[in-house]
Amino acid sequence: MDNINERNGIPLLGDKFPQVKVTTTRGEKILPDDYKGKWFVLFSHPADFTPVCTTEFVAFQQRYGKFKALNCELIGMSVDQVFSHIKWEEWIQDKLGVEITFPIIADTGAMANKLGLIHPGKGTNTVRAVFIVDAEGTIRIMLYYPQELGRNMDEILRAVEAMQIADKNKVAMPANWPNNELIGDNVIIPPAKDVDTAKRRLIEAEAGEFECYDWWLCHRKLKQ
């Protein structure tokens, strides 16, 4: 697969996050190197001192501990200058009583252009994008929202946890996990890829190793 450093346009899932030095409210950082061994969520916002973005930053901060418990860091970003980020942080703390403790990137536009974050038809404003990057620096999930819609941080937190579980256990995660309408908090065993495995699935299910609706739809509890 091509690396996005060698290809123009929006990155693809499975690409390595591009190496870039950025200025943030917590000093200069090099992405993704400074987060090696950790997952991180990079999320862009249209502009500082805007109502929807303010509600988002409060929501992210209130869940920051839960992200950190998953070995995952948060990184905000917009094309505003760093002094604007700092003043906005001060306003949020003074008026709303919430201290923003994760870094916010002050982008010159280079990263926004590279990641496809400039909102079409709206000047230099960045879209509400989310990049979930794993501990190896690989982009695992990308989400893009219009300016008018604030993000659901619980869904982003769920996505990080679910991907980590899927990686560790070599399973897939059902819709609305851990509250799926069919199998609750069970996880899905990847479908059989050959005839022999398909035949074994139902035999293994009868032996109680897992449950199946059919050989291609089997599920089990997470192993402790």
Active site residues: 53
- The amino acid at residue 45 is H
**127, 144 in Cβ contact below 8 A?**
yes
Q: Between vectors from CA 192 to CA 179 and to CA 135, what angle results, nearest 5°? A: 60
The CA dihedral of 21, 25, 27, 30, to the nearest 10 degrees, is: -20
**What whole-number distance in Å separates Cα of residue 179 and Cα of residue 162?**
12
Place of tokens 């008018």: 148
Nearby residues of 199 by Cβ (< 8 Å), 6 or more positions away: 215
CA distances from 157 to 22, 42, 154, 180, 189 (A): 24, 13, 5, 17, 23
The CA dihedral of 49, 52, 57, 62, to the nearest 10 degrees, is: 140
Beta-carbon count within 10 A of 155 CB: 10
